[in-house]
């Protein structure tokens, strides 16, 4: 087989008409305390994303540049999730449908789609609004046709995508409605059984590429004996969620910090994830940044992987900036 080129994009955060109608300050309006709102405004303006609807233009740029890919992997977060409850919100579902429609029209059967946390819903960073909703899970499957687990075999490589929010469910206890928790836990057990079955069936000569939106899930995977025994066969794990390599670098710097209680559920969730971040290392993590990047660095873009299906040559992971986000990139080579 000839060399294959994979195109990878993540954290598109596309905004359809209904989400745009809510205005760019939709998150700020959900914050009751003036001082917190002022801090969130500064954070959004100077560090994170001044325009939360910038993903639309960046998606169009990606589609224009996306020639020559054998396969395309979308690694989660297709809407702005402006109601914070995932696809159970009609406006967010409309955004995700439009976003995925553009990708499916462009790439057809060459497209593989992962779940992000915003497909299922999550708490707002600065307030207690939102969270996981079972209705979002069902809508992702029925309305958008998303498969929780996908697998693609390319020679000696096995590519696998899964739902990080399900695997990391114990870290998201505060995001769930109490009445929905038993069903979420049942879905998690089923999903873990599907994932471990793929690992258990790996041949010794096969290599794996994992696609995981939120790296919070990785330590939970590593607790599974079948998966832990096959960690040396994981060539690379491509994550999203963090939006910028700056955040990935900070995550590695803060890895092992103690969980912080008393500062809200969002801070507790993030600090708990960082406490486990040292366990990301065996998965050989690389980040696909958000298409729009972050405001501080203007570092939006997408990634590519070039691989020899027979694994005779090392694979190459490369980041590509989109117009307006600077120039340059970086390569990763694995022997």
Answer whether 9's CB lies under 8 Å from 162's CB: no
State residue 331's pLDDT score.
Answer: 38
d(CA 206, CA 156): 5
State residue 31's pLDDT score.
Answer: 83
State residue 193's pLDDT score.
Answer: 98
Which parts of the chain register pLDDT below 50?
262-263, 325-335
Answer whether 294's CB lies under 8 Å from 51's CB: no
Answer whether 100's CB lies under 8 Å from 143's CB: no
pTM for the model stands at 0.91
- In the sheet that 157-161 helps form, which strands lie side by side, from edge to edge? 150-154, 157-161, 207-212, 234-239, 285-287
What are the backbone angles phi and psi of residue 234, rounded to the nearest 5°? -80, 115
Answer whether 91's CB lies under 8 Å from 18's CB: yes
The number of C-alpha atoms within 13 Å of 173 and in the hemisphere containing its C-beta is 5
Digit-coded pLDDT (tens) for 222-272? 999 999 999 999 999 999 999 988 888 777 766 665 665 544 555 556 556
Would you state the CATH architecture of domain 4-334?
4-Layer Sandwich (3.60)
For residue 128, with 0-12 CB atoms within 10 Å meaning exposed, 13-18 middle and 19 or more buried, which class applies? Answer: middle
State residue 183's pLDDT score.
Answer: 98
**Sign of torsion, CA 27 33 38 42?**
negative
Digit-coded pLDDT (tens) for 165-192? 999 999 998 899 999 999 999 999 999 9
SS3 state of residue 117: helix
State residue 329's pLDDT score.
Answer: 39
């Amino acid at each position: 087989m000839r060399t294959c080129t994979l195109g990878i994009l993540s954290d598109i955060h596309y905004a359809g008409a209904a989400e745009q109608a809510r205005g760019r300050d939709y998150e700020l309006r959900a914050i009751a305390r003036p001082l917190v709102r002022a801090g969130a405004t500064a954070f959004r303006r100077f560090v994170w994303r001044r325009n939360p609807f910038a993903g639309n233009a960046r998606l169009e740029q990606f589609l224009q540049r996306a020639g020559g890919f054998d396969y395309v992997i979308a690694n989660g977060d297709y809407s702005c999730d402006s109601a914070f409850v995932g696809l159970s919100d009609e406006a967010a579902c409309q955004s995700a449908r439009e976003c995925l429609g553009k990708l499916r029209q462009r790439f057809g059967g060459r497209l593989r789609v992962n779940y992000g946390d915003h497909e299922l819903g999550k708490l707002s960073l600065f307030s207690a609004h939102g969270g996981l909703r079972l209705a979002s899970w069902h809508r992702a499957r029925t309305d958008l046709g998303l498969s929780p687990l996908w697998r693609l075999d390319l020679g000696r490589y096995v590519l696998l995508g899964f739902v990080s929010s399900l695997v990391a469910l114990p870290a998201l206890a505060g995001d769930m409605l109490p009445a929905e928790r038993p069903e979420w836990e049942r879905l998690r057990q089923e999903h873990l059984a599907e994932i471990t079955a793929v690992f258990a069936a790996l041949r010794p000569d096969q290599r794996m590429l994992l696609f995981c939106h939120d790296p919070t899930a990785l330590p939970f995977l590593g607790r599974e004996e079948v998966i832990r025994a096959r960690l040396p066969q994981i060539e690379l794990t491509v994550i999203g969620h963090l939006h910028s390599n700056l955040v990935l670098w900070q995550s590695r710097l803060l890895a092992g910090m103690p969980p912080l209680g008393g500062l809200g559920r969002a801070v507790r969730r993030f600090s708990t994830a960082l406490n486990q971040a040292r366990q990301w290392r065996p998965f050989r993590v690389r980040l696909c940044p958000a298409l729009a990047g972050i405001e501080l660095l203007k570092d939006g873009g997408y990634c590519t992987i070039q691989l020899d299906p027979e694994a005779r040559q090392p694979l190459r992971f490369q980041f590509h900036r989109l117009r307006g986000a600077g120039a340059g990139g970086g390569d990763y080579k694995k022997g």
